[in-house]
């Protein structure tokens, strides 16, 4: 097992007071690994990279290099170099001087500099380019020079912040392979940032999928693709069909109104999310398909057709070898190992509050008038007091209550007055016949709501939770 080179321990980063852009971040990076931070824009990838490079400090937590805390070590004293998306080359210097810049600052001998620049140019496949000017190079070549300039210092770790982001598709593909080769040749640790999942899958030994400043899953590309740990990862990496379902037997799962044999086992009754990759949903004749439906679209994707089938109210995306007309009846079968089952996190949508002197449940985002007889079954409310059967009254004030609602029972509205809590939509996942939303309140509480209408990320919405659908549980 390779030794750990970088360890991030419980890192939190707040740029502005109280707003954490990175939270509870724990990660070990092994010597020589090619690690990729992958996630949507704004999830904190660059922030993590800048903290490792020393350009930002964590608000709390530790960054260890070979087991030593490096929080006090300035960037230029860390054995780490960075390649940025914008190449940041010196336009007035030729290529030799661009690459030699750092070594000259360190007052290395002419002979040593010559030899190292030559070697760096060999690694990036631009031998003989020493005297050329930056302006005469293509974008891909400039990025290679930026890499040469970083590796000439022989860092232990190379940080690459979306280095291929400015390149066109073909050049990007070429550079991906070359970077991977360079990584093998140099044998040093690469920490790479991208929001492109295909790039991450192609290049990495380990992918760290991030959302909202937190790690969603860290694993090999195969683990991340085949065994996503939650619906966000499944949705973000590759194409997925995601359905809500329930375990209905030993290795049997029901979703889209059909029972399937699967390889995962959870107790009967467990609510789950089932992930089916389009390539694992096999088109067949309607008579022999477990799911049956009509084609609603067929899009050519180069090597296959992406076909959407409507089964009941659910849309299922499958890969087909030939174009199918709209309205065609088809069947779909899914092998047990094509179904990835994830228990649905029922810890969601719990909000805890305290009962006040007016029998309202006060929680961080609002307060709710609660029917106390639902919290204390059998009790009777009379003259503002809650009585048990034997005539004693219950002191409700100060009692802590946990309230829970099912995402399917709530609705979204654009009328701020309509709902129980308000917030911005921070996540959308399509589940075949509805969208699954996360609404984050200004107090950073997340509410999960299913809605069949399509809202957008960032929309300010009201979460309408019907009183009678809230389940209460006395905590103390």
Measured from the CB of residue 401, what is the shortest distance to ligand ATP in angstroms?
34
Q: Which of these segments, 45-53, 67-75, 197-205, 232-240, binds ligand ATP (CB under 6 A)?
A: 45-53
Measured from the CB of residue 366, what is the shortest distance to ligand ATP in angstroms?
26
Measured from the CB of residue 460, what is the shortest distance to ligand ATP in angstroms?
17
Cα–Cα dist 397/333, whole Å: 56
Which residues make Cβ contacts (< 8 Å) with residue 265, sequence separation at least 6?
247, 250, 251
The reply to whether 41 sits near ligand ATP by the rule CB under 6 A is yes
Would you give the binding string for ligand ATP spanning residues 175-214, x where CB under 6 A is met? --------------------x-------------------
Measured from the CB of residue 446, what is the shortest distance to ligand ATP in angstroms?
17
Which residues make Cβ contacts (< 8 Å) with residue 427, sequence separation at least 6?
211, 232, 437, 438, 457
Closest CA to 48 of 218, 167, 198, 169: 218
DSSP reduced 3-state for 201? helix
Cα–Cα dist 323/149, whole Å: 49
Q: Which one, 23 or 33, has the nearer CB to ligand ATP?
A: 23
Q: Which one, 46 or 141, has the nearer CB to ligand ATP?
A: 46
- Please give the angle made by the CA atoms of 231, 233 and 235, to the nearest 5 degrees: 65
The reply to whether 46 sits near ligand ATP by the rule CB under 6 A is yes
Q: Which of these segments, 39-47, 149-157, 362-370, 378-386, binds ligand ATP (CB under 6 A)?
A: 39-47
Q: What is the secondary structure of 44-81 as a DSSP string?
A: SHHHHHHHHHTSS--SEEEEEETTEE-TTS-GGGSSEE
Would you give the binding string for ligand ATP spanning residues 271-290, x where CB under 6 A is met? --------------------
Measured from the CB of residue 43, what is the shortest distance to ligand ATP in angstroms?
4
Q: Which one, 45 or 116, has the nearer CB to ligand ATP?
A: 45
Cα–Cα dist 80/151, whole Å: 9
Which residues make Cβ contacts (< 8 Å) with residue 344, sequence separation at least 6?
244, 270, 271, 272, 273
Measured from the CB of residue 163, what is the shortest distance to ligand ATP in angstroms?
13
Measured from the CB of residue 84, what is the shortest distance to ligand ATP in angstroms?
11
CA of 317: how far to CAs of 171, 198, 343, 432, in Å?
31, 19, 22, 9
Measured from the CB of residue 230, what is the shortest distance to ligand ATP in angstroms?
18
- Binding-site member from 5, 8, 20, 21 for ligand ATP (CB under 6 A): 21
- Please give the angle made by the CA atoms of 83, 86 and 91, to the nearest 5 degrees: 100
Residue 140 contacts residue 87 (beta carbons within 8 Å): no
Cα–Cα dist 233/211, whole Å: 9
Measured from the CB of residue 16, what is the shortest distance to ligand ATP in angstroms?
6
Q: Which one, 84 or 260, has the nearer CB to ligand ATP?
A: 84
**Within a 10 A sphere around the Cβ of 221, how many other Cβ atoms?**
18
DSSP reduced 3-state for 119? helix
Report the relative pairing of strands 157-161 and 80-83 from DSSP bridges. parallel
Measured from the CB of residue 90, what is the shortest distance to ligand ATP in angstroms?
24
Q: Which one, 444 or 467, has the nearer CB to ligand ATP?
A: 444
- Binding-site member from 24, 42, 336, 466 for ligand ATP (CB under 6 A): 42
Measured from the CB of residue 161, what is the shortest distance to ligand ATP in angstroms?
8
- Binding-site member from 6, 20, 38, 43 for ligand ATP (CB under 6 A): 43
Cα–Cα dist 251/168, whole Å: 46
Q: Which of these segments, 34-42, 100-108, 121-129, 372-380, binds ligand ATP (CB under 6 A)?
A: 34-42
Interface size with ligand ATP, residues (CB under 6 A): 11
> Helix 139-151 to helix 95-105 angle, to the nearest 10 degrees?
20
Q: Which one, 46 or 450, has the nearer CB to ligand ATP?
A: 46
Q: Which one, 400 or 442, has the nearer CB to ligand ATP?
A: 442
Q: What is the secondary structure of 404-465 as a DSSP string?
A: E--GGG-EEES-TTTSSEEEEEEEEEE-SSSEEEEEE-TT--EEEEEESS---TT-EEEEE-
Residues 401-460 that bind ligand ATP (CB under 6 A): none
- Binding-site member from 8, 23, 34, 47 for ligand ATP (CB under 6 A): 47
Q: Which one, 190 or 405, has the nearer CB to ligand ATP?
A: 190
Radius of gyration of the chain from Cα atoms? 28
Q: Which of these segments, 35-43, 250-258, 398-406, 422-430, binds ligand ATP (CB under 6 A)?
A: 35-43
Q: Which of these segments, 42-50, 337-345, 371-379, 396-404, binds ligand ATP (CB under 6 A)?
A: 42-50
Residue 324 contacts residue 298 (beta carbons within 8 Å): yes
Helices (H) and strands (E) in the chain, counts: 9, 33
Cα–Cα dist 253/191, whole Å: 39
Q: Which of these segments, 38-46, 89-97, 295-303, 309-317, binds ligand ATP (CB under 6 A)?
A: 38-46
Give the interface with ligand ATP as residue ranges (CB under 6 A). Answer: 15, 21, 39, 41-47, 195
């Amino acid at each position: 097992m390779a030794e750990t080179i970088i360890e991030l321990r419980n890192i939190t980063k707040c740029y502005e007071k109280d707003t954490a852009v990175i939270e509870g971040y724990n990660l070990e990076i092994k010597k020589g690994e090619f690690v990729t931070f992958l996630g949507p824009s704004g999830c904190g990838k660059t922030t993590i990279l800048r903290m490792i490079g020393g350009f930002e400090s964590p608000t709390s937590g530790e960054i260890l290099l070979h087991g030593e805390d490096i929080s006090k070590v300035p960037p230029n004293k860390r054995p780490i170099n960075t390649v940025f998306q914008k190449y940041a080359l010196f336009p007035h210097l030729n290529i030799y001087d661009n690459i030699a810049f750092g070594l000259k600052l360190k007052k290395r001998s002419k002979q040593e500099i010559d030899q190292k620049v030559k070697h760096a140019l060999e690694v990036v496949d631009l031998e003989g380019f020493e005297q050329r000017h930056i302006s005469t190079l293509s974008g891909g070549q400039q990025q290679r020079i930026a890499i040469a300039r970083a590796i000439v210092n022989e860092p232990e770790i190379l940080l690459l912040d979306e280095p291929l982001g400015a390149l066109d598709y073909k050049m990007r593909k070429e550079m991906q392979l070359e970077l991977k080769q360079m990584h093998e040749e140099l044998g040093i640790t690469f920490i790479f940032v991208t929001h492109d999942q295909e790039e991450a899958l192609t290049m990495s030994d380990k992918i760290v999928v991030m959302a909202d400043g937190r790690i969603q899953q860290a694993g090999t590309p195969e683990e991340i693709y085949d065994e996503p740990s939650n619906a966000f990862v499944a949705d973000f990496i590759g194409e997925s069909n995601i359905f809500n379902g329930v375990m209905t037997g030993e290795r049997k799962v029901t979703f889209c109104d059909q029972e399937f044999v699967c390889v995962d086992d959870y107790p009967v009754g467990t609510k789950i999310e089932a992930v089916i990759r389009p390539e694992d949903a096999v088109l067949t004749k309607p008579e022999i398909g477990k799911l049956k439906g009509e084609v609603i679209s067929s899009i050519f994707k180069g090597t296959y057709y992406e076909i959407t089938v409507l089964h009941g109210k659910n849309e299922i995306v499958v890969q087909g070898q030939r174009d199918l007309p709209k309205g065609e009846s088809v069947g779909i079968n899914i092998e047990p190992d094509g179904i990835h089952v994830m228990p649905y996190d029922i810890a969601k949508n719990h909000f805890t509050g305290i009962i006040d002197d007016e029998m309202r449940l006060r929680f961080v985002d609002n307060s709710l008038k609660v029917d106390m007889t639902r919290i204390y079954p059998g009790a009777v409310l009379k003259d503002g007091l809650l009585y048990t059967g034997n005539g004693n009254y219950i002191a409700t004030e100060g009692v802590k209550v946990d309230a829970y609602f099912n995402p399917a029972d709530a609705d979204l509205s654009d009328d701020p007055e309509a709902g129980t809590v308000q917030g911005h939509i921070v996540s959308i996942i399509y589940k075949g016949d509805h969208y699954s939303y996360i609404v984050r309140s200004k107090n950073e509480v997340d509410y999960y709501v299913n809605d069949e209408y399509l809202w957008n990320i960032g929309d300010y919405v009201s979460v309408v939770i019907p009183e009678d659908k809230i389940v209460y549980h006395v905590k103390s």
